[in-house]
Amino acid sequence: MLTGQTIVATPTVVVNDVRCAHEPPGWSAPELVERRTVVLIRSGLFRRRVGTREMVLDSSTGYLPRPGTEEAFAHPAGGDRCTSIAVCDEEMSALLGAGGVPDTAIETTPQIDVAHRALLARARSGATPDELAERAHVLVGAVLAGAVADGCGPVGRLPGPRTSRRAVDQVRERLAVDLSASLTDLARHTGLSPYHLSRVFRRTTGCTITGYRTWLRLRAALDQLASGETNLARLAMETGFSDQAHLTRLLRREIGQTPGALRRMFATGRGQVTTTPTAGSGGRGSPARRPRPEG
C-alpha cells in the first residue's frame, strides 16, 4: 500500500515523503507518469519496469520518471521509502536542456545523500517553507548535474563572477523592496534558474538566500526593538517570523541576547551584546559574508 506525506508545497516545488508497505510478489499494475519528478530512495529495494527495461533501485540510487510513460513496480525484499520532488516544468526544462536525461537509475553521491536527509531533518525541525524550498531546488539541481551526460549539460554551468555579482545585487535590491519574494520570483528577476541562483548566491556571499533573508528580518526586528517596540508577538509577526519563540531563538543564537534583554539594553544604554566572531565575517561592504541563520 502506498502512502505519502507532503513535506513542503509551493507553486514551484512539491516534496513528498512516500512509503510503500510490503506488497505481494509480482509486478504492480502499470501506472501512467503524469509529471517529471526526481525520486530518491531512502530505504528498501524495489524493481521498476518501464516498457521492456527494468532497473533495481535501492538507497544508493534515484530515478527521473518521464511524463507520458507507464511504469510498474515489484518488491522482492519488502517495502521501501522514497522522497519525491517535483519542480515546475519551466525550471526542469532549463536544468535538463533539450536532450534531457534518460529514464534510468541514477547513482547518488554521498553529498546528495546528506543533502537529501538534511532536507527531511530540517522539515522535522520546523524549518520555514522558504528554507525547505531552497534546499529542494538545490538538491534537484545537484541530482540533475550528476545525471546530465558527460557532466557538461546546462545544469553544470554556473555564470562567471561578473554575472554572479550582478545577480546577487539584483537579489538584494529585490529583497529590499519585497522581503517575502520567493526563490522562484528572485530567479525570474535575475534570469537564472532557482538552482543556479542559489548556488551563485552562496558562492558569492558565503550564505544561502534563505539565511540572508532571515538575517534581514533579524535586523528589522532589532530596529523596532531599538525604537521601543514592546509587543514581541506583534514584532515577530511583522518581521516575518513564525512566532515570538522563533524570533527569540534566532536572536539568542545569533546575537546572544533575548528580545527582552535587547530592549532593556537599548532603553538604558547598559549591557553589551555577546556575539561570537565568525570566520569570514565582513564589514559594511560585505554584509553577507558570514553564515546566516536558516531556522
Largest CA distance in the chain: 76
Q: Which three cell numbers stand for residue 101?
A: 536525461
Question: What local confidence, expressed as pLDDT, does residue 207 receive?
Answer: 86
pLDDT for res 154: 46
Separation of alpha carbons 42 and 60, rounded Å: 8
Residue with cell 528580518: 217
Give the Å distances, CA to CA, from 97 to 148, 206, 289. 9, 28, 33
pTM over 0.75: no
Residue pLDDT tens, the chain, 295 long: 778 899 999 988 999 999 887 667 788 899 999 988 999 998 888 889 998 888 888 888 899 998 899 999 988 878 888 999 998 888 887 777 656 677 878 888 878 888 998 898 899 888 889 999 999 999 998 888 876 543 434 455 667 778 888 898 889 888 888 888 989 899 999 998 888 899 899 888 888 999 888 888 888 888 888 778 889 999 999 988 989 999 999 988 888 888 888 888 777 665 554 444 333 333 323 333 444 455 5
235, 237, 242, 247 alpha-carbon torsion, rounded to 10°: -10
